[in-house]
Structure formats: structure tokens, C-alpha cells
């Protein structure tokens, strides 16, 4: 990661337990499969500053101190609030840390997520992300297509080609696609290499099962958003039964299931709590037996 205006340093880190799931290569960038999603660090409805500013900074620092090297964000969170928090908490960034961001949506005064995918919108968002994160180069930019209701059919060529131009100018290392249909993923892959797809997926939302497997076969990462269910964390009698049998929390089982589901799945669970962050890291290391997996399959 190239940090603006300062020499990037790697602090001496104490020995710590490896994160569950090991690592994955996004192009030439190695990241921990257990990452962190920063969206819910902003205020209510992902608008404005957090209620607990110092707590938000503490969660980001605790994540990196735990060994997390993949943080997911977007200039639309806050808007710009989450990126500014990441910079405040973590800049100058350790060389091992990779911040993935997204472009393609903006925010309106009501907290809505209008699309913003004209070439000038895409260019502006890339430059805002660079400025707010304090970077010369963005490690990974996902083009978010679709809308707040989910993927929508339609060509992504124009905004994706704009990102490719910015990549060729040296402002972006790797490209990804988010909130997309399989046809859009394939359309993007025909234009330029795609290192990850970030779509809604969790134990209760498995519409992308075939896509997860297809990307695994290609060595492309699949990054489920809302891995814990998002604004309404997952609740299910089956999940609770399996968790009780293992003496674990249901959300731990949900994360462990994702890690076991496919080696190309990267986790970006969100939390505003250091305690939940630690609980999630420990919980994701659970090993689910065949009978657990079979029961969860029926959820």
C-alpha cells in the first residue's frame, strides 16, 4: 500500500495467533481471508459520524493489531466518514494492509444510495477515495452496479472501462465487481482482469452458490457482503441448534460456515465493537463437522 506524504513503515508486531482461514491472493496482494467491513462504523443509516468516534477508531486498530490485512470500505459510507476514520486510525498504513473500496453509488440527503456511474462520477469517486484515505494508489476498487435492492441487468462497460483507464494511469492496482449478476461479472472479465466479486451472500442468502463455485475454479475471490445478515443479523432455529451443540454463538457458526464453504471466500464482517470483533475472529475458527454442514445446508 502506498501512503501519501509519508514513508510507509511496518511496525514490529508481537507474535499472535494466525487468523482463521489463512490468506488469499488478490492479484499480487496477499490478504487475510478474515477481513473487516467498515460500513457500519458511520452513523445511523450509514450517514454522518459515528455515535462513538473513539470506539470506531479502536475497532479499526484492534482489527489490524489482530492481524487483519483486508479492510473493506466505500466513499459512500457516511459519505466519506468511514474513509476518514480509516485514515485517522491506521495512517500511515502498514505495508501488509490492503484497503478495498467501492465506487458506483453516492448518497442523497435522505440517506438513499443513488447510482453514480457516469465516467465523471467514477473519476471523482476514485480521487475522493485517494484523498480521504491518504493514498497515492488504491489497492482494490470494486465497481458497484445494481442498486440498493440488489443486482440489475444492464451493461457495466462504460463505468468499468473508466476504472480500467484509471488503473492504466497507475491510480488503482486491482479491480473488482460488486452487487452484480453473473452476466455482468463475465462482461467485466472480458474487458479486464477481475480479482474479486463482492455480492450479498450468507447462510440464508445463497443465490450466488453457482457463482461462488465458478469463481473458485478461476481463482477469483468471492467476498460476501452482509456475511452476518447485515442490518438484521441472521437468526434461525437451525443455526441456533448447531451453535448450541458446538457451544458457540450462532454468528460464529455463520462465519465458520463461510470459511469452510469455499477457499475463495473472504470475510468482511462488520462490527462497531472490539468485543464482537474478537468474538468473531475466535468464532470463525470453529470446525464444522459433516453433520453440522448437512444441517446448515437445510437452513
Q: Which residues bind ligand NAP (CB under 6 A)?
A: 37-40, 72, 102, 144, 178-179, 198, 225-230, 233, 251, 268-273, 276, 279-280
Asked if 251 and 280 count as a contact pair (C-beta separation under 8 A), the reply is yes
**Which of 13, 61 has the CB closer to ligand NAP?**
61
Comparing every residue's Cβ against ligand NAP, the nearest one is 270
Please give the C-alpha separations between residue 45 and each of 29, 108, 188, in angstroms, as whole numbers: 32, 12, 30
Distance from C-alpha of 107 to C-alpha of 243, rounded to nearest angstrom: 38
Distance from C-alpha of 271 to C-alpha of 291, rounded to nearest angstrom: 29
**Which of 77, 93 has the CB closer to ligand NAP?**
77
**Which of 34, 226 has the CB closer to ligand NAP?**
226
Distance from C-alpha of 22 to C-alpha of 259, rounded to nearest angstrom: 10
Please give the C-alpha separations between residue 162 and each of 26, 60, 155, 289, in angstroms, as whole numbers: 21, 31, 13, 46
Q: How far is the CB of 281 from ligand NAP (least distance, A)?
A: 10
Residue 154 has what DSSP assignment? S
Residue 77 is a catalytic residue: yes
- Bridge partners (DSSP) of residue 141 are 101, 175
**Which of 9, 66 has the CB closer to ligand NAP?**
66
Q: Which residues contact 222 (CB under 8 A, 6 or more apart)?
A: 196, 197, 198, 199, 201, 208, 211, 212, 215, 216, 262, 264, 265, 266
**Which of 279, 295 has the CB closer to ligand NAP?**
279
Q: How far is the CB of 55 from ligand NAP (least distance, A)?
A: 10
Dihedral pair phi/psi, residue 35, rounded to 5°: -115, -160
Q: Within 13 A of 238's CA, how many CA atoms are on the CB side?
A: 12
Distance from C-alpha of 257 to C-alpha of 24, rounded to nearest angstrom: 17
Q: How far is the CB of 57 from ligand NAP (least distance, A)?
A: 14
Q: How far is the CB of 73 from ligand NAP (least distance, A)?
A: 6
Which residue among 77, 93, 201, 222 is the active-site one?
A: 77
Q: How far is the CB of 9 from ligand NAP (least distance, A)?
A: 26
Q: Which residues are catalytic?
A: 77
Amino acid at each position: 500500500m502506498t501512503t501519501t506524504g509519508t514513508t510507509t513503515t511496518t511496525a514490529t508486531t508481537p507474535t499472535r495467533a494466525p487468523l482463521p482461514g489463512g490468506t488469499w491472493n488478490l492479484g499480487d496482494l496477499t490478504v487475510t481471508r478474515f477481513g473487516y467491513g467498515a460500513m457500519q462504523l458511520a452513523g445511523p443509516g450509514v450517514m454522518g459520524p459515528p455515535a462513538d468516534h473513539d470506539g470506531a477508531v479502536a475497532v479499526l486498530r484492534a482489527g489490524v493489531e489482530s492481524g487483519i490485512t483486508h479492510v473493506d470500505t466505500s466513499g459512500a459510507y457516511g459519505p466519506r466518514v468511514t474513509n476518514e476514520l480509516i485514515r485517522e486510525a491506521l495512517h500511515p498504513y502498514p505495508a501488509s494492509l490492503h484497503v478495498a473500496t467501492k465506487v458506483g453509488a453516492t448518497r442523497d440527503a435522505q440517506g438513499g444510495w443513488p447510482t453514480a456511474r457516469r465516467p465523471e462520477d467514477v473519476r471523482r469517486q476514485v480521487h475522493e477515495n485517494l484523498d480521504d484515505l491518504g493514498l497515492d494508489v488504491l489497492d482494490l476498487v470494486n465497481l458497484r452496479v445494481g442498486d440498493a435492492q440488489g443486482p440489475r441487468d444492464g451493461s457495466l462497460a462504460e463505468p468499468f472501462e473508466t476504472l480500467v483507464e484509471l488503473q492504466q494511469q497507475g491510480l488503482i492496482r486491482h479491480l473488482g465487481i460488486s452487487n452484480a449478476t453473473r452476466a455482468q461479472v463475465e462482461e467485466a472479465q472480458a474487458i479486464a482482469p477481475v480479482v474479486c466479486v463482492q455480492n450479498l451472500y450468507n447462510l440464508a442468502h445463497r443465490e450466488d452458490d453457482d457463482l461462488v463455485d465458478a469463481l473458485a475454479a478461476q481463482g477469483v475471490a468471492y467476498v460476501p457482503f452482509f456475511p452476518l445478515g447485515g442490518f438484521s443479523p441472521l437468526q434461525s432455529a437451525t443455526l441456533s441448534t448447531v451453535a448450541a451443540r458446538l457451544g458457540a454463538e450462532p454468528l460464529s457458526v455463520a462465519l465458520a460456515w463461510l470459511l469452510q464453504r469455499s477457499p475463495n471466500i473472504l470475510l468482511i464482517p462488520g462490527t462497531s465493537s472490539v468485543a464482537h470483533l474478537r468474538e468473531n475472529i475466535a468464532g470463525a475458527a470453529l470446525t464444522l463437522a459433516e453433520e453440522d454442514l448437512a444441517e446448515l445446508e437445510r437452513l
